[in-house]
Amino acid sequence: MVINSRWIIRTSSSAAVITLVTFASVNSAGANEITTELGAAYGYALLGLTGSSSQLSSGPLVFNGNIGVDSGAALAASGGGHINGTVFEDPSATVNTSGVTVSGGTTSQSMASAQNAATSAAAFYSSLTPTQSFSSISSTTTITGNGGLNVINVGTGGINLSGGALTISGGANDIFIFQVGGASSVQGGAQIVLQGVSANQVLFDFPFTATWAMQQSSNGAILQGIFLAPKAGFNINGSNTTSDTAEFITGAAANFQSNPVINAVPLPASVWLLLSALGGLGFLARRHRSGPASSPGVAHC
């Protein structure tokens, strides 16, 4: 049971940031475990933690979402790509986006909350008791949810697919946390397929130290979910066939090349409901400040 009190919502079309301190969200079935624990680290297409170095290069890749660069981290973007969102950079980060188009511009702000949230979330996910265990996943596999929190422990063999699919099947109340103990890859058209769940309900935690936590080759390989690797990196090779719905959080290196399309993980439906409610409150507040509107036949006190 987790209480959600730290939503950070960032617009993807401008440099504006909406910070929300929100309602308590308690769900004994495990729903919102991912977005709650990630807190300020949630909602990016790419988040480079302290000490990381991210390269966006080799062709007109596309990021449909925001990018965050924490203190002491670096981001270099070249090759004529497009970031359809905002780059949020800590004042001590090193960022060069001169080689790409950034629709929402660059915003300088402290990223300490995102760094701390990612570190805390990684420790939390690693501490969970598994509900299923595999030594490795190297062939077509289907994981079916139990209607709540599903913790899938994958040993040092990691998730390595060459063709085939890892299918994750569940419903609205399912959350899938994969504790992955070894370097992983998808290639040869291999895909992570979601059935009945959204990418915001699936997280892959890579707690180990390595050059790469996950590598993705071309030829139609697809990743979906949130990929958290505080001590390892990601190597994503698109070749015009990759369209991932994912958030990549790394404390090491992240290379995106050969035209991948990265779509940020969508917000849960509960957050859109909250935003709608807050929008209504904002309207009422503005109306109150400006005075009641005149209406025929209505007396105002």
Q: What is the enclosing helix (H) or strand (E) of 119?
A: helix 112-127
Q: Summarize pLDDT for 106-116 with one digit per residue, the tens.
A: 999 999 999 99
Question: Does residue 120 come out as left (phi exceeding 0), alpha (psi in the -120 to 50 range) or beta?
Answer: alpha
Average pLDDT over residues 200-216: 97
Q: What is the pLDDT of residue 171?
A: 96
80-84: Cβ within 8 A, 24+ apart: 81/56, 81/57, 83/56, 84/12, 84/13
**Token duo for residue 260:** 């991948």
Give yes or no for residue 18 having a pLDDT over 50.
no
CA dihedral over 208, 266, 128, 118, signed as positive or negative: positive
Q: What is the pLDDT of residue 286?
A: 46
Q: What is the pLDDT of residue 35?
A: 87
Q: What is the pLDDT of residue 17?
A: 41
Among the ranges given (19-28, 50-59, 224-233), the one the predictor scored with the smallest mean pLDDT: 19-28
Q: Summarize pLDDT for 38-91 with one digit per residue, the tens.
A: 999 999 999 999 999 999 997 789 999 999 999 999 999 998 899 999 999 999
**Token duo for residue 209:** 């130290």
CA atoms within 13 A of residue 131's CA, in its CB half-sphere:
16
Q: What is the pLDDT of residue 15?
A: 34
Q: 59: which DSSP letter? A: S
Q: What is the pLDDT of residue 273?
A: 41
Which of 244, 261, 153, 158 is CA-nearest to residue 199? 244
Q: Please provide the average confidence, as pLDDT, over all residues in the chain.
A: 83
Beta-sheet strand order (sheet of 165-169) = 141-144, 165-169, 191-195
Q: Summarize pLDDT for 243-285 with one digit per residue, the tens.
A: 899 999 999 999 999 889 999 998 875 543 444 444 444 544 4
Q: Specify the higher pLDDT residue, 29 or 189.
A: 189
Average pLDDT over residues 198-218: 95
Q: Specify the higher pLDDT residue, 293 or 150.
A: 150
pLDDT band at 32 (very low <50, low <70, confident <90, very high): low
Q: What is the pLDDT of residue 70?
A: 98
> Strand 74-77 relative to strand 94-96: parallel, antiparallel, unpaired?
parallel
Among the ranges given (33-42, 121-130, 216-225, 273-282), the one the predictor scored with the smallest mean pLDDT: 273-282
**DSSP symbols for 9-38:** EE-SSSS-EEEE-------TT-TTHHHHHH
Distance CA 54, CA 73 (A): 8
pLDDT band at 166 (very low <50, low <70, confident <90, very high): very high
Q: Summarize pLDDT for 132-153 with one digit per residue, the tens.
A: 999 999 999 999 999 999 999 9
Q: What is the pLDDT of residue 298?
A: 32
Average pLDDT over residues 218-242: 87
